[in-house]
Amino acid sequence: MNAFIEVSEHDEQRIAVKGREYCAGSNHEEMPPSIPMANGIALTPRQANATPAEAAQLCRVEIDARLPATGSVLFRSLPLRNREDFNGFVNALGYPNHSYHGGIAVRPRSAGASLPASNEDERISMAPHNEMAYLPNFPKKIFFFCETAAAQGGEVPINDIRKSVEHIPDSVLNRFAATGILYRRYLPKVSSAIEIGWQETFGLSSADTIEAAMKAKGYDFGWHDDEGLSYSYVHSAFIDDPRGGRPLWFNQVTELHASYWRNHPLFPSNRGDSRYPATTAYGDGEPIDTGLVSTLRAALWKTARAVALKPGDVLVLDNTYIQHGRFAYSGIRSHFVSMTA
């Protein structure tokens, strides 16, 4: 007997996108009015009293069998109550852990296989993106666990980037293929509620060690009077498809663009691009028109679907193909994320 019951979900709800407050680019003419729920097959365990480790062994079989074809697997009502259970579950899955060093999201670092999901202000809706696509070493699988669901909102938009790229003109793709993407970062020394510091980002405590790391990576960098660090590097806008398809549009040219922070309730809208936590440009240094950035965001939303996670649920994504984001929410929302190589 199969360890899981297959449940075909049919939720007719749609989540509004166009005109949504604190959703970067939401007023752009190409933004879709709303996106549907993901629906499809969810897996519910037959055994309700399994330990997290036992549940992991059963889930591992399904992940390995289904993820290559579907890109996402949704487990409902696993025997996981809290972060400790989720840590035990992820460790028992047996996939190699992937660290968050170099990541941009503000989230507390602590022991264990999981991290709190992004601490971004709850009013913000984050567009779908591939995790850490701005770095050469990105996680291959992403696991989201819901400990507490928000009172309202907080759904996870997911998106197959292979479908979105069909909405991006070839001329735009060709330009980025030729130049790559310039990522510029600004990090204060110490983290705050809205910005992650360079000490925490890189796990290094002194300017000397940071400079050595910057030089080793080949990054351009400089210091500010407030001990803040600016650095930049050029990275490809594409990666090879492991399955031999056309090169994959794999980057964060939209969510790391300065326009994201200009639409942020906790950042002033009049800073220079280089003094926001990040911004992007063409690889040759030419600025990217904000209207084009909004067009690219709209392409991601056009093919996105939403997943509403409930306590005990785990959503597994193939990060190479499937993007994730977050809708604004109200109330307490406690989600944790784990990344594997």
Q: Check residue 74 and give its pLDDT.
A: 98
Q: Check residue 193 and give its pLDDT.
A: 82
Domain finish residue from 264, 279, 297: 297
Mean pLDDT estimate for the chain: 95
Residue 181 Cα distances to 15, 217, 274, 327, angstroms: 31, 16, 15, 26
Tell me, what CATH number does 197's domain have? 3.60.130.10
Q: Are 264 and 121 in contact (CB under 8 A)?
A: yes
Measured on CA atoms in the order 105, 106, 110, 116, is the torsion positive or negative? negative
User: pLDDT-based confidence at 147, cuts 50/70/90?
Assistant: very high
Q: Do residue 129 and residue 33 come from a single domain?
A: yes
- Does residue 46 belong to any structural domain of this protein? yes
Query: Measured at the alpha carbon of residue 47, what is the angle toward residues 44 and 52, in degrees to the nearest 5?
Result: 85
Q: Do residue 308 and residue 292 come from a single domain?
A: no
Q: Check residue 201 and give its pLDDT.
A: 87
| Nearest in space to 201 (alpha carbons), one of 103, 293, 128, 123 | 103
- Does residue 217 belong to any structural domain of this protein? yes
Each residue of 201-229: pLDDT tens digit?
A: 888 889 999 999 999 999 999 999 989 99
Q: Are 128 and 157 in contact (CB under 8 A)?
A: yes
Backbone angles phi, psi at 211, to 5 degrees: -60, -40
pLDDT over 80 at 191, yes or no: yes
- Does residue 170 belong to any structural domain of this protein? no
Beta bridge partners of 143: 316, 338
Each residue of 134-146: pLDDT tens digit?
A: 999 999 999 999 9
pLDDT over 70 at 29, yes or no: yes
Size of the chain, expressed as the number of residues it contains = 341
Q: Check residue 106 and give its pLDDT.
A: 67
CA distance 128 to 23: 11
CA distance 236 to 133: 10
> Domain containing 17: what range?
4-165+304-340
Q: Check residue 183 and give its pLDDT.
A: 98
How many structural domains compose the chain?
2
Q: Do residue 194 and residue 148 come from a single domain?
A: no
Q: Do residue 212 and residue 286 come from a single domain?
A: yes
Q: Do residue 196 and residue 134 come from a single domain?
A: no
Q: Do residue 9 and residue 147 come from a single domain?
A: yes
Q: Do residue 190 and residue 53 come from a single domain?
A: no
What's the distance, CA 99 to chain centroid?
14
Q: Do residue 271 and residue 310 come from a single domain?
A: no
Q: Check residue 180 and give its pLDDT.
A: 98
- Does residue 91 belong to any structural domain of this protein? yes
Q: Check residue 102 and give its pLDDT.
A: 75
Tokens coding 279: 């911004």
Q: For residue 59, what are the contacts with CB-CB under 8 A and spacing of at least 6?
A: 75, 78, 89, 93, 314, 316
Q: Do residue 160 and residue 194 come from a single domain?
A: no
- Does residue 171 belong to any structural domain of this protein? no
Each residue of 230-281: pLDDT tens digit?
A: 999 999 999 999 999 999 999 999 999 999 999 999 999 999 898 899 999 9
Higher pLDDT, 47 or 327: 327
Q: Do residue 129 and residue 208 come from a single domain?
A: no
Q: Check residue 110 and give its pLDDT.
A: 64
Surface-to-core class of residue 24, CB atoms within 10 Å of its CB (0-12 exposed, 13-18 middle, 19+ buried): buried
Q: Check residue 194 and give its pLDDT.
A: 85
What's the distance, CA 31 to chain centroid?
20
Q: Do residue 11 and residue 150 come from a single domain?
A: yes
Q: Do residue 231 and residue 89 come from a single domain?
A: no
Each residue of 88-114: pLDDT tens digit?
A: 999 999 999 998 877 777 666 666 789
Lowest mean pLDDT among 74-83, 163-172, 185-194: 185-194
- Does residue 172 belong to any structural domain of this protein? no
- Does residue 86 belong to any structural domain of this protein? yes
Mean pLDDT of 284-294: 97
